[in-house]
Structure 1
């Protein structure tokens, strides 16, 4: 129907007759001349209708926002003084010679002629087909399409095979709840939707495929937040006969290529690497935002003997931690601002937020400090804090003291918030690898070991002999790629020997019977010549969210769910009729 897209017209088309199709962004009547801004996927162009073509002009008067039109016209320069330099088509306009209303529109629930979405997210999701007409939403989905194209091209060039894995599969709990699908042909039995293609991609390595990838849909029935959805997309990758170093180098080059080709950005070569232990010690997080120059400083050894149980208790507790966080020029903070940060760390379980303002340490020493806690701290502790943090006049030092988990989460989050609030962010993109994760962590509720990543992650080879003697000290061959404080990819070298896999299952309190029931097909495959292999999965939604500057992965997905895992557009989930339930041999329990 069309000869050109609206957004592609420019001065090189001067004098050409064109046919355009699209939606009405806005209609304006200026002194008997009607202007229609026509919009399509590529952009917007101004169309002018003169009253000397009475029939067409009368039709143009009927047009309203979001009407769908076909317009025939001639491209011409805009009159002097009316050029719009902010619009790619701003040097030209189209003189309307023909007009057909292809479809009328009710008043749209979302104002599309504004620069931002004023509507609530609920309205945007309920009328998603209208929301997606907004240029910024279309730009994000175009970027997403480009991202997958670049990633596929890179992997294809490296000899990877794009292979699909099943959506209807066996329930093999991997950390979150499965979405279950009842089977009509096997009454009382269920398929599960895959939380990831983990086991199948390992089976593909055992099948000799050598290098596999898939843009895979994954499903997890878990509590949601800005970067979680019940169904999401990951770039799933697995390869055989690769060390973690070789695998990480290849994936690093892939992400550098992606940012170069899509965003025109050069990421560092190589990415820095931090061990899990160092990352937790310095930043309180295993996905640190390196743009923030602040670091946590351990001061427990200075606090063990102080007459202040808030500090001395955690300092003496093997599971406790006491840290200081120096904020340069933080002495400018008001008491109200400090109280606000105290409330903030409370979200993460911290019971308070102690601090010391450094007013004039250089000249007055202890007398130049200001804090409610100074009376509890001896001179040597104060001296040690000042030396270790490097605090200077005008600074403020915050403290965290509690169980290590609470301190890491609360002061780690405070570190990032201070960096954002105080304008301390350094650089736009700061990727890194986090490596040497613990193989297991102890769950105090069940009093057993659980896998920090998943039960198919390989332990360090040199620790195999002591695996059962000290599980807490065992490190895994896992690695995460982190960008600006967000984990964008995670993976590991896998266990490829049956005996080792069974030892790990035993440590995780998975009996032989349970292992056979849940993972028997994998254990059997391990006995038929399984190669060493490893892989990684990148969260495609998170990656696109970062690359487009969106605040939520919902803004880079065409049809996302709400935070209660509902689709407002289709009113899903919904009830089904009795006949469908009967076919599946299901009966609903009456609500209490």
Structure 2
């Protein structure tokens, strides 16, 4: 009724045929007696030539039209090699208006990515007509379809887990949903299918996966969407950490090989494995960007034997760079360092004769200068920067200085996706405010050393079988070997301040299931949104989500969060306080 073909189905083979096409008016051009419409549908653009001016009466940009006409060759000098239909055009005989435009467009569709984000999100249905924005969503669909097929081919069973579940005291802030039938009680939206997938393993399912929606009431970042996100969630029974590594790297490697831009370099499997401790030392963070060749060194012990008082008694990190740096560069780097909160940024430049030049040279005894050159692997033309503070701050500052040097000196490897695993995370951490011991990451992880470690070791020294996959400095996935033993579970939660009664109340299903022969199991959950953001080389995750919230967790298009009626509140036993 509306069209015979989509734009992708039209070709030179239809020249001489009468066809009906449908789409939106992307552009109108008047060439003096002959006019042209660029008609766009989801699949492409076709030029329509109009030789009867009355056919154009009342037609404006972005109107939805059905056009019937004769398919013909374009004049050779008007070929458009940028589009598949660039050698053909439709001579319009009849135009039917399917959807009128009643208001002025808030922006030009073809340049929508250049306007303010709040305007784009308010009119997202128009923004999605932009070819680049639309292509991101089409690309997303293809990636998810591939992931599903890949997991199925690897023997995983897709199972959907509940969206309405019980609130958990761990992790980020829950979204809670009041119950109508049970006054004063609430559901929560799942932060992840964590407990359910473990219960599936206890149920005897061997390999599970799903493209899982997750909900967390947390602030947005460039690589984190507020409210909701999707992950490729999978879990396996009777496996070790290394078994999960093999699955994770196969899925991600094959996906990036298939979908990364042509010419991209991708880390070959097996991916390198970096311990959390090593990552914090060499990269200053637990999300190392391996495209940056710079590494951080520990020179703490060396400087305890020098006379530079600001370094004595502190952790000292060093970064060596071989590059020419002007006085202006040093000034800008110092300004960056102070913006982070650093008191200064010491450095030494290595001359041709291996002598040093810099503000702290005089504090290094002559007999120790050769030792520094050996320790840091210095050569003529190098500059070495020093960062000193408490260990956690020294790591933080050094990581940012490393990233800034890599960026400003153009050292970051281009067109590359560099993966690694980070493992051996601490099981517990000390809350700096309450001074109480709590879980560092996933409370359901297996501690290394099992029950014996929990009973005999300092909790802050215990490592967990937890791991992340990192790509180009972005955490793509977290995972763990799960704790499947009830005694280990009770002891681990006790250390973190939860008594057995809390376990029964908050994690009752797992508490019970682990008493009926639970298998050892492990898994991970690569983030789908982040994966696609990297593959599309987008700086903001909202560019790869069809209807994202803004950075303040608002849906500007539909007006969420919004008010509800008094009746709706009464039905769920809620009263809003001032």
Q: TM-score normalized by structure 1?
A: 0.92
Residues 462 and 73 of structure 1: is their aligned pair in 2 closer, same or farther, counting only changes over 3 Å? same
Matched, 1:6 2:13: no
Counterpart for residue 340 of structure 1: 332
Q: Indicate if the aligned counterparts of 2:451 and 2:487 stay in contact, CA closer than 8 A.
A: no
Measure how far apart 1:391 and its partner are: 3.6
Measure how far apart 1:350 and its partner are: 2.8
| Helix, strand or coil at the partner of 2:352 | helix
User: In 2, distance between residues paired with 1:395 and 1:247?
Assistant: 41
* Residue in structure 1 matching 2:426, options 412, 428, 438: 438
User: In 1, distance between residues paired with 2:13 and 2:367?
Assistant: 76
* Residue in structure 2 matching 1:353, options 340, 345, 365: 345
Q: Indicate if the aligned counterparts of 2:55 and 2:94 stay in contact, CA closer than 8 A.
A: no
Counterpart for residue 318 of structure 1: none
Matched, 1:396 2:389: no
TM-superposition CA deviations, 1:180-219 (whole Å, max 9, x none): 1111111111111111110011111111111111111111
Counterpart for residue 568 of structure 1: 556
Measure how far apart 1:8 and its partner are: 4.5
Counterpart for residue 416 of structure 1: 403
Q: Which runs of 5+ in 2 are unaligned?
A: none
Q: Indicate if the aligned counterparts of 1:111 and 1:118 stay in contact, CA closer than 8 A.
A: no
Matched, 1:112 2:99: no
Counterpart for residue 95 of structure 2: 99
| Helix, strand or coil at the partner of 1:218 | strand
Measure how far apart 1:382 and its partner are: 4.2
Q: Indicate if the aligned counterparts of 1:332 and 1:394 stay in contact, CA closer than 8 A.
A: no
User: In 2, distance between residues paired with 1:381 and 1:83?
Assistant: 72
Residues 386 and 111 of structure 1: is their aligned pair in 2 closer, same or farther, counting only changes over 3 Å? farther
Q: Indicate if the aligned counterparts of 1:6 and 1:38 stay in contact, CA closer than 8 A.
A: no
RMSD: 2.0
Counterpart for residue 297 of structure 1: 297
Matched, 1:68 2:64: yes
User: In 2, distance between residues paired with 1:178 and 1:385?
Assistant: 51
Residues 323 and 267 of structure 1: is their aligned pair in 2 closer, same or farther, counting only changes over 3 Å? closer
Give 1:311-390 correspondences, 5 Å limit.
311-314=311-314, 321-329=315-323, 331-335=324-328, 337-346=329-338, 348-358=340-350, 361-363=351-353, 365-366=355-356, 369=357, 371-390=358-377
Residues 346 and 164 of structure 1: is their aligned pair in 2 closer, same or farther, counting only changes over 3 Å? farther
User: In 2, distance between residues paired with 1:334 and 1:32?
Assistant: 64
Counterpart for residue 508 of structure 2: 520
Measure how far apart 1:364 and its partner are: 6.4
Give 1:29-108 correspondences, 5 Å limit.
29-51=30-52, 57-105=53-101, 106-108=103-105
Measure how far apart 1:332 and its partner are: 2.3
Q: Indicate if the aligned counterparts of 1:439 and 1:459 stay in contact, CA closer than 8 A.
A: yes
Measure how far apart 1:375 and its partner are: 3.3
Q: Would you say how many aligned residue pairs link Structure 1 and Structure 2?
A: 571
Comparing 523-532 with 154-163, greater Cα deviation is found at 154-163
Measure how far apart 1:267 and its partner are: 4.6
User: In 2, distance between residues paired with 1:539 and 1:530?
Assistant: 27
Q: Which runs of 5+ in 1 are unaligned?
A: 52-56, 315-320
Comparing 464-473 with 475-484, greater Cα deviation is found at 464-473
Residues 347 and 513 of structure 1: is their aligned pair in 2 closer, same or farther, counting only changes over 3 Å? farther
Measure how far apart 1:242 and its partner are: 1.2
Measure how far apart 1:483 and its partner are: 0.8
User: In 1, distance between residues paired with 2:216 and 2:363?
Assistant: 49
Give 1:165-176 correspondences, 5 Å limit.
165-176=161-172
* Residue in structure 1 matching 2:489, options 501, 508, 512: 501
User: In 2, distance between residues paired with 1:462 and 1:573?
Assistant: 45
* Residue in structure 2 matching 1:245, options 242, 245, 261: 242
Residues 32 and 421 of structure 1: is their aligned pair in 2 closer, same or farther, counting only changes over 3 Å? farther
Comparing 250-259 with 199-208, greater Cα deviation is found at 250-259
Counterpart for residue 180 of structure 1: 176
Residues 44 and 379 of structure 1: is their aligned pair in 2 closer, same or farther, counting only changes over 3 Å? farther
User: In 2, distance between residues paired with 1:93 and 1:477?
Assistant: 62
| Helix, strand or coil at the partner of 1:313 | coil
User: In 2, distance between residues paired with 1:45 and 1:586?
Assistant: 55
TM-superposition CA deviations, 1:3-42 (whole Å, max 9, x none): 2222443434433332221111111101221111111111
